[in-house]
């Protein structure tokens, strides 16, 4: 009983805190409430610098809204009436126009002359060069992301004049231009950043971790890690229509129940990460809007470090793949909000997906036999890790996997790693067994395999997997022009991944966004976070009326 009273007390305190944020805001009028978006999330950014070591996924949202890129993507309407980015359509952002060279080996951008950084200095080609030089040099995730589009050397980036910038290609690659429109390809105020740089920190990483130097539609007004982030509209933004939302308050509310309560009471406008069970119930009730999108090129998986015994034994890995309770995970942990993959790494809306390529089903007898063949008739013990920042799904999933592995003799000790530390923990590559999710920004199967299975990839190949045959096929598929050969390469990649099984893709997740009825303009983005620029709100009184009905 006391724990129940404590939960109610905590919720009341949270509601009061949200209300206090609104009434103490400098423009707290009825009109400003319509121009203020309250977002509740499970966890927030751990850095303002998407190039920073260990930048977590919520940092993508900060980067996307604070900074501009040369290019962005168009928008398309889906058959169900919702909106999505269009991966086949590139649009201008800081670049007014661009032109490919006749030989196809360079592209020249003409920059907007009216774009300014948040400190009112103009955006010029030298800022673009410094920023892209930084991305290809700083190492880790951003450098590998740039490499995915054959953007590898500082010498590729050329300042022609203040408002003309050229990218020279080292090879013809269909991913080069799309790669300039992802969150990593930000343009930073180089003059401001250089003032904070030191001999030991030439890219001003320490300063940019806590501060921003962007030209985007929103400025960082305040950030208290672990509690909230506040963005305010940049009224001088020229790279698109001025957003309708003036201020965005993103509050970190670890309890999924509290996030739901805030939405249902009308004290929050939108949430990205409610429990699947809650989303299903809210959807049926009909008092809030739910937009659900299958996440492109994405899968939730069980990863195994193939350098760590006993996971260096392929039969052990296959045994685990046969032990996973796939259907039970989808029904119990995810409440049906996803598409089963059964070991197939390619998602349903990515080229090469084949529902017949489902190599693993729950089969305890087969799993036990493989353990015997591997030399572990009595099983073994290991640790089993997951990102606590995504605990709403990861924890019930981990418990189901723990139980299933225990039945075949594998004893696991669960380790919950705080969300702010998860990316850094992955990069260490010392977790033997773990749950993770990968979502590819560019919706191409070879892009997924480049990131996750190539032996030279130091970031999302969290399994430390190396197979020269896999590497050769990935590289061949990336540049193959013949559609038939390309399809053959993609199928070969899938078959090799399920044979070596360094990870077990379990299901393709949905991105569920729950919002008040008066929120308009939402669209799905490949990075899975909000673009505040498209959102708008009608009269807040409609929400109150909705809650009473």
| 270-271 vs 36-41, strand pairing mode | parallel
pLDDT at 317: 98
pLDDT tens-digit profile, the chain (549 residues): 444 444 445 555 555 554 444 444 444 455 577 899 999 999 999 999 999 988 998 999 999 999 999 999 999 998 888 899 998 899 999 999 999 999 999 999 999 999 999 999 999 999 999 999 999 999 988 998 999 999 999 999 999 999 999 999 999 999 999 999 999 999 999 999 999 999 999 999 999 999 999 999 999 999 999 999 999 999 999 999 999 999 999 999 999 899 999 999 999 999 998 989 999 999 999 999 999 999 999 999 999 999 999 999 999 999 999 999 999 999 999 999 999 999 999 999 899 998 888 789 999 999 999 999 999 999 999 999 999 988 888 999 999 999 999 999 999 999 999 988 998 899 899 999 999 999 999 999 999 999 999 998 767 899 999 999 999 999 999 999 899 999 999 999 999 999 999 999 999 999 999 999 999 999 999 999 999 999 999 875 544 554 554
- Angle (CA) 245-439-259 rounded to 5° is 45
CA neighbor of 346 nearest in space, from 333, 362, 359, 336: 359
* Rounded Cα–Cα distance for residues 436 and 299 (Å): 9
pLDDT at 29: 53
Answer yes or no: are the C-beta atoms of 504 and 360 closer than 8 Å: yes
Residue 254, burial from CB neighbour count under 10 angstroms (0-12, 13-18, 19+)? middle
User: What crossing angle do the helices spanning 125-137 and 140-147 adopt, rounded to 10°?
Assistant: 110
pLDDT at 81: 85
Query: What pLDDT, in 10s, does the model give residues 479-505?
Result: 998 999 999 999 999 999 999 999 999
For the whole model, what pTM was predicted? 0.83
Q: Which helix (H) or strand (E) holds 393?
A: helix 391-407
* Rounded Cα–Cα distance for residues 266 and 284 (Å): 18
pLDDT at 21: 47
Q: Which domains does the chain have, with CATH numbers?
A: 1-66+216-288+516-549 (3.40.190.10), 68-209 (3.90.76.10), 298-509 (3.10.105.10)
Place of tokens 């997997």: 465
224's CB contacts (< 8 A; 6+ apart) are: none
User: What crossing angle do the helices spanning 483-500 and 445-453 adopt, rounded to 10°?
Assistant: 30
* DSSP structural state of residue 244: S
Number of alpha carbons in the 13 Å side-chain half-sphere of residue 246: 12
pLDDT at 28: 46
408's CB contacts (< 8 A; 6+ apart) are: 319, 323, 364, 367, 368, 371, 379
* Rounded Cα–Cα distance for residues 106 and 213 (Å): 28
Tokens of 221: 């007004």
Query: What pLDDT, in 10s, does the model give residues 535-547?
Result: 999 875 544 554 5
Tokens of 433: 């067994």
pLDDT at 545: 52
Helices (H), 148-220: 176-179, 190-196, 205-210
86's CB contacts (< 8 A; 6+ apart) are: 73, 74, 75, 76
* Rounded Cα–Cα distance for residues 523 and 293 (Å): 10
């Amino acid at each position: 009983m006391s724990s129940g009273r404590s939960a109610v007390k905590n919720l009341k305190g949270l509601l009061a805190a949200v209300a206090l944020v609104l009434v103490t805001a400098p423009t707290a009028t009825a009109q400003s409430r319509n121009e203020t978006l309250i977002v509740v999330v499970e966890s927030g950014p751990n850095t303002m610098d998407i190039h920073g070591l260990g930048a977590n996924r919520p940092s993508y949202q900060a980067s996307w809204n604070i900074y501009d890129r040369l290019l962005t993507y168009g928008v398309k309407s889906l058959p169900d009436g919702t909106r999505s980015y269009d991966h086949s359509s590139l649009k201008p952002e800081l670049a007014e126009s661009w032109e490919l060279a006749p030989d196809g080996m360079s592209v020249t951008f003409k920059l907007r002359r009216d774009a300014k950084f948040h400190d009112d200095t103009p955006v010029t080609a030298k800022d673009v060069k410094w920023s892209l030089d930084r991305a290809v040099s700083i190492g880790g995730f951003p450098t590998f992301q740039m490499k995915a589009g054959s953007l590898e050397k500082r010498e590729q980036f050329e300042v022609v004049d203040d408002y003309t910038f050229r990218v020279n290609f080292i090879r013809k690659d269909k991913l080069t231009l799309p790669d300039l429109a992802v969150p990593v390809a930000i343009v930073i105020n180089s003059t401001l950043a250089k003032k904070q740089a030191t001999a030991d920190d030439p890219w001003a990483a320490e300063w940019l971790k806590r501060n921003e130097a962007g030209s985007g539609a929103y400025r960082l007004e305040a950030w208290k890690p672990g509690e909230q982030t506040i963005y305010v509209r940049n009224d001088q933004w020229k790279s698109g229509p001025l957003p309708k939302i003036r201020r965005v308050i993103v509050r970190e509310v670890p309890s999924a129940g509290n996030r739901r309560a805030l939405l249902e009471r009308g004290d929050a406008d939108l949430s990205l990460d409610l429990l699947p069970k809650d989303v299903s119930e809210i959807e049926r009730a009909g008092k809030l809007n739910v937009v659900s999108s299958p996440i492109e090129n994405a899968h939730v998986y069980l990863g195994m470090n193939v350098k760590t015994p006993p996971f260096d034994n392929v039969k052990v890995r296959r045994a685990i793949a046969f032990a996973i309770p796939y259907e039970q995970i989808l029904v119990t942990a995810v409440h049906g909000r996803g598409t089963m993959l059964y070991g197939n790494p390619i998602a349903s809306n990515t080229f090469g997906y084949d529902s017949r390529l489902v190599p693993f089903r729950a089969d305890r007898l087969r799993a036990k036999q493989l353990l015997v063949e591997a030399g572990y008739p009595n099983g073994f013990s290991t640790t089993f890790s997951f990102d606590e920042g995504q605990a709403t799904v990861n924890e019930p999933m981990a418990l189901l996997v723990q139980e299933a592995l225990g039945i075949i003799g594998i004893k696991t000790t669960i380790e919950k790693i705080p969300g702010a530390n998860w990316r850094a923990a992955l990069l260490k590559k010392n977790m033997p067994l773990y749950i993770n999710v990968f979502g590819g920004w560019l919706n191409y199967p070879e892009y997924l395999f480049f990131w996750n299975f190539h032996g030279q990839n130091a970031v999302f190949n969290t399994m430390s997997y190396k197979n020269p045959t896999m590497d050769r096929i990935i590289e061949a598929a990336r540049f193959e022009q013949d559609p038939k050969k390309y399809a053959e390469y993609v199928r070969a990649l899938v078959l090799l991944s399920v044979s070596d099984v360094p990870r077990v893709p379990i299901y393709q997740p949905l991105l569920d966004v729950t919002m008040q009825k008066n929120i308009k303009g939402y669209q799905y983005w490949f990075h899975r976070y909000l673009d505040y620029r498209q959102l708008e709100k009608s009269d807040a009184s409609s929400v109150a009326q909705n809650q009473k009905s």
